[in-house]
Amino acid sequence: MSHPVAITFTSPDLEALPGFAGQLALIAEGERPASPAAKRLDKAMRGGLARVLASEAWGRLKPGEALDLAFPAGLSAEGLRLIRLPKKATVEEARKAGSAVGRALGARDVLVLAESHPQAAEISFGLALRAYDFTPHKSAPQPAKGAVAIAVTAPEAVAAAAAPLAALAEGVFFTRDLVNEPANILTTHDFAARLAAMQELGLEVEILEEEQLMKLGMGALLGVGQGSESPSKVVVMQWNGGGDEPPFALVGKGVVFDTGGISIKPAGGMEEMTMDMGGAGVVAGVMRTLALRKARANVVGLVGLVENMPDGRAQRPGDVVRSMKGDTIEVINTDAEGRLVLADVLWYAQERFKPSGVVDLATLTGAIIVALGHENTGVFSNDDALCNAFLKAAGAEGEGAWRMPMGDAYDAKLKSRIADMMNVGGRDGGAITAAQFLKRFIRDGMPWVHLDIAGTALLKGDTTLAPKGATGWGVLALNRLIRDRYERK
């Protein structure tokens, strides 16, 4: 798997700065060299730094943006990246400043001069996240990246503050790797094996095979995968870092590839359906983060792993399946398969673990992209307290999320002539009727949030903290939700 670049924290060595031969990055604020490092660089550059900081180009920069000087006179460095960041910068601005370094990492060593900036740990986090690159299937050898050091006035304190963020970066990278991986590599077998390997981190991992799922009555989930050569599985990951309290549950849709089944998708863009296991990928990344940072909370992560393929044995439109709950479902569209997977895993999670609350994640509907684009995840909930806590966590981490409506009128659209419900309710309000379907598998009184991440799990362009491809959206927000709401202090 991919790992974040190793970052060391060191004290500034002002006299060695002019002779540093790699890439330098200076965190600065005003229109003149103010910090000890800036003054030392300006002296070596014979006032060149002061000229840049007094320029209109520098003055136009927003917090977190950068200006580059190539082969600056008076320095041995190949480049000097000047990053504007005020002392009272927000977390988002500090991470953006770090990303200005991370996106340009190369073979040369990098020294970031953050000195006494109060957000130095967040700068390192932004650097780590943006330096992600998915290259395991490139035939040409990939050049090694240079060493990264951040010079700060209190290196031990900053390193301690950065440690949980480093664990969080590992979780995000794990999620991105899973979502980026092609489906011929990330089969249900391979996915389950990668999750089982996290037992070495202290997670309890259990893999439920098809025979066990049949005995449990998971007819909705099993129907989705019956046309595939890859067997369906449910993987349960437990982190028991709290006391005797019931766990908080995370449930993820893990469709490793989605052709749409018999209701087959158009060919154009179908290659992106390798990301239809994005919800399960986020759950896995959160569980990895919790284990790495030794979270003082009880959390269980459950993922349903299936592949939706057309085949002589595949589920047909018009079939009726029985869920673990006992409700029957008329399958109108086999491309609305994720909700069938989640229905059984949600019910199992509640039956077995009696959790304090449930959050499910799924790349569930194209309708949510029509509604919210790629800027926000759709948030649906039956519980204002849990929903508001999640929205607060997502806002604090800069992960876009928007609460969507629910109601009986939408639910009525799922009425079936021959079964207890249909799996779709028409094109209008499609993301909402999907959420209403899932709500039928949430017990009365159980706090629940559904996150439709179809628009945010994988993007066609770069973002501030990620290159194009998988984003890892949700790992940051859910980790913060657990830290703030469920972790023992």
Active-site residue list: 265, 339
Residues 6+ apart with CB under 8 A from 335: 258, 260, 261, 263, 264, 265, 308
- 274: exposed, middle or buried (Cβ count in 10 Å: 0-12, 13-18, 19+): buried
What's the CA gap between 65 and 121, in Å, rounded? 18
What's the CA gap between 320 and 416, in Å, rounded? 10
Task: Compute the C-alpha angle 60/61/65, nearest 5°.
Answer: 165
What's the CA gap between 267 and 305, in Å, rounded? 23
First-residue to last-residue Cα distance in the chain: 32
What's the CA gap between 77 and 43, in Å, rounded? 15
Token pair, residue 48, equals: 């060149």
- SS in 3 state form for the chain? CCCCCCEEEECCCHHHHHHCCCEEEEEECCCCCCCHHHHHHHHHCCCHHHHHHCCHHHHCCCCCCEEEEECCCCCCCCEEEEEECCCCCCHHHHHHHHHHHHCCCCCCCEEEEEECCCCHHHHHHHHHHHCCCCCCCCCCCCCCCCCEEEEECCHHHHHHHHHHHHHHHHHHHHHHHHHHCCCCCCCHHHHHHHHHHHHHHCCEEEEECHHHHHHHCCHHHHHHHCCCCCCCEEEEEEEECCCCCCCEEEEEEEEEEECCCCCCCCCCCHHHHHHCCHHHHHHHHHHHHHHHCCCCCEEEEEEEEEEECCCCCCCCCCCEEECCCCCEEECCCCCCCHHHHHHHHHHHHHHHHCCCEEEEEECCCCHHHHHHCCCCEEEEECCHHHHHHHHHHHHHHCCCEEECCCCHHHHHHHCCCCCCEECCCCCCCHHHHHHHHHHCCCCCCCCEEEEECCCCCEECCCCCCCCCEECCCCHHHHHHHHHHHHCCC
